[in-house]
Structure 1
Amino acid sequence: MSERNSTAAYDALKSRFERLSALYGAQAVLHWDRATMMPEGGAGARAEQQAALSLIAHETLTAPEVAELLEAAHEADGLGEWDRANLSEMVRVHAHATATPATLVTRLSRQKSHTEMVWRRARAQNDYASLAPELDRLIELVREQAAAKADAFGLSHYDALLDGYDPGRRSADIDALFADLESFLPGLLREVMEHQAKGPARLPIEGPFPVALQERIGREVMGLIGFDFAHGRLDVSHHPFTGGVPDDSRITTRYDEADFTESLMAVIHETGHSLYERGLPAEWRSQPVGRARGMTIHESQSLLFEMQAARTESFIRFLAPRLKAGFGGEGAAWEPENILRHYRKVAPGFIRVQADEVSYPLHVMLRYRLERAMIAGELKAADLPAAWNEGMEKSLGIVPPDDATGCMQDIHWPSGSFGYFPTYTLGALAAAQLFAAAKREHDGLEEALGEGDFTPLLGFVRTHVHGKGASRTPDEIIQEATGEPLGTVAFRAHIEARYLYK
């Protein structure tokens, strides 16, 4: 085939992926709408809308001519580095799509929407019995998808799902990193708790904290970090998340009028996700190479801002007087030292999203083991609560009082996201490495945070992470940005320095 025809094939592929990008954006906004403002009675209609969009996107991507265009485009010699990376991503995305039959795409989309809505009611009513059969139906469909992808890629069922969230990642990689963490983390958790028990007691910060005031302060902090309100908004949902598209970012949080600390950090966490999407290379946003590079990198960005930067002593000293003024607080409880103690409290708890950064990986490792068992067919939904409680007692020494604070607390499984959970801890490891590298590159980074200035940190990730898009693998991005492969060394050093040596 001539160079001209090969280039034309690549251009035709780019046009097709531009249309796909618009479809994915519409799906993302529909999902945000369903989670934030849609009446319960509209769930069925919305499920059909999303299923229809999923099928249209799938058919657009898997049409016979796409394979022909991909084959032809590989003959083009004049493609630059980014175009070559884009073509490689087209091949990867196409392979994932063609491995899943169209009928399964529709069935999965409908069951995900239905199971998620059942979960919302079941969690609110602590009624796991109503969720279990729907979750089983969804798991069977996910297992069917995993089997199809495993056959296509020559992977295990779980690795085939994992590749969709963290391209190139395998469970063997995770097993090695998690084994390293488990070799020191339980002992380190006990050591940190003993150390904190010897220090000054945390003074209670008395509420109530009206939602309107929490939202105002959250928006102020979002602005400091770099969120562009001309291209995004903040809303409320059952579970904090970030959706939308780079030019229309939708962040949600949830509020508790008795405690402002969780919501504020959730807002910072989700802002990190949004900044990543907003910072992706603008000229490639409608193409596969311009998308985020998987969930390990995505979670590293949210945790970089929430855990690494926003919990530094310098930033809390900047934030404390603004919290005090915003909520009309008085007394020693509002001093920076006390607020810092609240944000650095380490103790096992039932809820993952409220967990401290020392115990958090233990929550994730439990979910990782359980979801692998479910995908392997070794664990049924009916047996999940008992397995969950046993795992919590073994890893954290606590047993949840009910399923709402146990196995029903997360949206991931009811929405079909199997293979996502390990990326939270992989992201925490990456965030520790990235923050250490950013401080090496910018000597005054923590001093800047003490002035509410996130510019040096945001500039570092814009250059070393956001601007890379999907042009490299997750591990290549981490290696190039930090000078080290993904590992546990920086995370351990960070935990010890923050919680034991001060």
Structure 2
Amino acid sequence: MASESVEQAYRTVVEHSNRVLDLEKTNQLMRWDSDVMMPPGGAPARASQRTTLSAARHRYLTDDDLGAALDVLADADLDDERAAVVREVRREYTTAASVPDALNDRISDINSRAHEGWKAAREDDDWSQFGPVVAEHFAAKKEWAAHVDPDADPYEVVWSQRTGYLAQPHLPLELVDDIFEQLREELVPLIASIQDSDVDLATDALHSADGDFDVETQKELNRAALDALGLDWDRTRFDVAPHPFSFGHPYDVRMTTRYDESDLTEALTGTIHEFGHTAYAHGLEQEHYGTPLGEPRGVGIHESQSRFFENHVGRTEAFWEFFTPTVREHFPALADVSPRDAYECVNQVFDDNYIRVDADELTYHMHIILRTEIERDLFHDRIDAEEIPALWNDKMAEYLGIRPETDNEGCLQDPHWSQSLPGFIGYTIGSVLAAQLDAAMRADLDADVDDLIREGRVGPIREWMTENVQRHGQYYRADELVRQATGESLTADYFVEYAREKYGALYDL
């Protein structure tokens, strides 16, 4: 095979990758704008605009010239970086080319309409405005799965074969099921023991029944937290949205949080969580922007970064020894709150937490398991979308002993089913991997990690995470990346050990 034909084919692959990723990032900007800047009347046109971008992305990804270039490169002798680029583009091309343009356009239209529908349903606290388009989305994704791999379990297909930002290849559903089962077995009795404990934590240390935490001062406090973590403001915009998120790339990240005037922890934990996503985007190598080597290694790996910074930095006692004086500076009424009080407050295990993004580290995973069970039942036609509010409430009562009184407290709290399916598995995968990465980092760094956090010197922590996870982009498969970073395959053992040790000490178990 002539080297020039190989070189031209590789250039074609990279050119198409550039266009596909530019369109994906532009669509994310449109999503950011719709939640942060767009006037309410813009929703109908925005849905059409995002559909057009998704359709154009799909057509670039399935272009005949790209297919021909990939054929030329099938047996080419490529260096490791080029081979990784071709591997990842080929995976996405093969999946996307299996799906008819008309179906892909329909899914894009559904996704755009569904997100705006979710916002309207939230406004009116009415699932019936969102449920029909959720059903439409799930039905379309079943068609999608049948085109991609008609002989496989369709739910496995939508988990393992997705393309774009929401993909998480190379971590099989069987592994997910094993991790979920281990967490069910370990966390349910641990949560029950905590609920039976007589320990009285300082649960109200950062709360105010009178709503004393004005939003503008909270914004300053959250920016101070981001400064402490070393956020690069030249490459970040920080705003307010109905549901926190972070979208972007090494040059530009749009990050959001939301505020509660009676609770400092909602914004702070959400902000630190989204910082982890932002740090990942900033940790990708700029020279590879526009290729898979400049892209994150999947939604579960992405979540490991946000959960690491939220939980293994932001919920540590060392962090609150460092940051509590800053909290007092912004809110002098909290002058008597000690670092230990703040630590206990952000780590309490709730008896009555209805909202996933506000949940503690333990009950959080019951929220994820609940949602995953519902989406699997809906996907396999065991339930109808209109049954979700009642089923959701029943599962909340079964798993957490509480029953939501409104749709906003229950099945309308997340926008994920407007676009993502499976919508929630990555959160638990990310939490499990975060604990595994934390253990590997603590074993690897010369310095004491808690001392670094206590002294506000998070640079070595961020550098370790950049070196071992972020900068690699999609050079490694996800399972290979986990082994490279931690020395072993993904396992829930580290999270379980971490949870037992931390919460056993907090609740004197």
> What TM bracket, shorter-length normalisation?
over 0.9
Query: For 1:436 and 1:306, how far apart are their aligned partners in 2?
Result: 15
Change in 2 beyond 3 A, CA 1:40/1:147: farther
CA deviations 1:354-410 (Å, max 9, x no partner) are 110011111101111111111112221111112211211221121111211111111
2:156 aligns with: 159
Match of 1:60 in 2: 60
Contact 1:149 1:160 in 2 (8 A): yes
- Give the equivalent residue in structure 2 for 1:336: 339
Equivalent residue for 1:214? Answer: 218
| Match in the other structure for 1:103 | 102
Indicate the residue corresponding to 1:438 in structure 2. Answer: 441
For residues 359 and 100 of structure 2, what CA distance do their matches in structure 1 show? 39
Partner of 1:134: 133
CA distance in 1, matches of 2:371, 2:319: 32
Question: 1:391 and 2:388 equivalent?
Answer: no
1:347-496 pair list within 5 angstroms: 347-348=350-351, 349-413=353-417, 415-442=418-445, 443-496=447-500
Instruction: Provide the residue aligned with 1:25 in structure 2.
Output: 25
Distance change in 2, residues 1:280/1:337 (3 Å): same
Superposed, 1:178-327 pairs within 5 Å as 178-195=180-197, 197-205=198-206, 206=208, 207-327=211-331
1:53 positional shift: 1.1
Q: Which string of whole-angstrom CA distances, capped at 9 and with x for unpartnered residues, describes residues 186-224 of structure 1?
A: 0011223334x3245545443511111111111121122
Residue 172 of structure 2 corresponds to residue 170 of structure 1: yes
1:157-192 deviation digits (Å, cap 9, x = unpaired): 111111223102222221111111111110011223
Residues in 2 aligned to 1:9 and 1:75: alpha-carbon distance in whole angstroms: 12
- Indicate conservation of the 8 Å contact 1:89/1:289, yes or no: no
- Report what 2:84 is aligned to: 85
SS in structure 1 at match of 2:248: strand
Instruction: Give CA-to-partner distance per residue, 1:53-85, whole Å, 9 cap, x none.
Output: 1111111111112111101023332x2111111
- 1:501 is displaced (CA, Å) by 2.7
Q: Which residue identity is paired with 1:288?
A: P
Could you tell me how far apart the structure 2 residues matched to 1:118 and 1:56 are? Answer: 23
8 A contact 2:248–2:281 mirrored in 1:
no
Q: Using a 3 Å threshold, how does the CA distance of structure 1 residues 266 and 200 change in structure 2: closer, same or farther?
A: closer
How many residues align? The count is 496
Report the Cα offset of residue 132 of structure 1: 2.0
Structure 1 CA distance for aligned equivalents of residues 4 and 45 of structure 2: 46
SS at match of 2:330: helix
Q: What is the CA-CA distance between 1:469 and the residue it aligns to?
A: 0.7
Contact 1:139/1:416, CA 8 A, preserved across alignment: no
CA contact (8 A) 2:308 2:435 kept: yes
CA distance in 2, matches of 1:359, 1:200: 17
Structure 2 CA distance for aligned equivalents of residues 321 and 495 of structure 1:
27
The one-letter amino acid paired with 1:175 is D
Question: In the alignment, is the contact (CA less than 8 A) between 1:6 and 1:75 conserved in 2?
Answer: no
Quick check: 260-269 or 377-386, which moved more? 377-386
SS of corresponding position for 1:501:
helix
The offset of 1:90, in angstroms, is 0.9
Tell me how far apart the structure 2 counterparts of residues 97 and 209 of structure 1 sit (CA, whole Å).
48
CA shift in 2, pair 1:192/1:476, >3 Å: farther
Q: Identity rate of aligned residues, in percent?
A: 33
Query: Whole-Å Cα distance in 1 between the matches of residues 115 and 398 of structure 2?
Result: 29
The 2-side partners of 1:213 and 1:200 are apart by 26
Cα 1:288–1:155 shift into 2, 3 Å: farther
**Aligned partner of residue 123 in structure 2, secondary structure:** helix
| Residue aligning to 2:39 | 39
Task: Go from structure 1 to structure 2 and tell me whether the alpha carbon gap of 1:157 and 1:203 turns closer, same or farther (over 3 Å shift).
Answer: closer
Task: Indicate conservation of the 8 Å contact 1:293/1:470, yes or no.
Answer: yes
Q: Secondary structure at the match of 2:416?
A: coil
* Distance verdict in 2 for CA 1:362–1:124, change over 3 Å: same
C-alpha distance in 2 between matches for 1:322 and 1:126: 37
DSSP 3-state at the match of 1:500: helix
1:417 shift after superposition: 0.7
Alignment partners' CA distance in 2, 1:91 and 1:385: 40
Shift of 1:147: 2.1
Q: Which residue of 1 aligns with 2:120?
A: 121
Residue 10 of structure 2 is aligned to residue 5 of structure 1: no
After superposition, the C-alpha distances for 1:72-104 in whole angstroms (9 at most, x for unaligned) are 023332x21111111100101111211221112
- For 1:19 and 1:309, locate their aligned partners in 2 and report how far apart those are by CA, in whole Å: 37
Unaligned runs of 5+ in 1: none
Checking the alignment, whether the CA contact within 8 Å between 1:295 and 1:420 is kept in structure 2 is: no
Distance 1:126 1:61 in 2: 38
Partner secondary structure for residue 329 of structure 1: helix
Runs of 4+ in structure 1 deviating by more than 6 angstroms, as ranges, are none
Secondary structure of the residue aligned to 2:22 is helix
Q: Do the aligned partners of 1:7 and 1:73 also contact (CA within 8 Å) in 2?
A: no
Secondary structure in structure 2 of the residue aligned to 1:251 = strand
Deviation at 1:270, TM superposition (A): 0.4
Q: Deviations over 1:5-33 (max 9, x none)?
A: 12221122112212222222211111110
**Residue identity opposite 1:108 in structure 2:** I
Per-residue deviation, 1:461? 0.7
Cα distance in 1 for partners of 2:111, 2:9 equals 35
Whole-angstrom CA distance in 1 between matches of 2:432 and 2:452: 23
Q: Is the 8 A contact 2:201 2:348 kept in 1?
A: no
Aligned residue for 1:198, secondary structure, equals coil
Give the AA of the match of 2:432.
L
2:248/2:278 contact within 8 Å kept = no
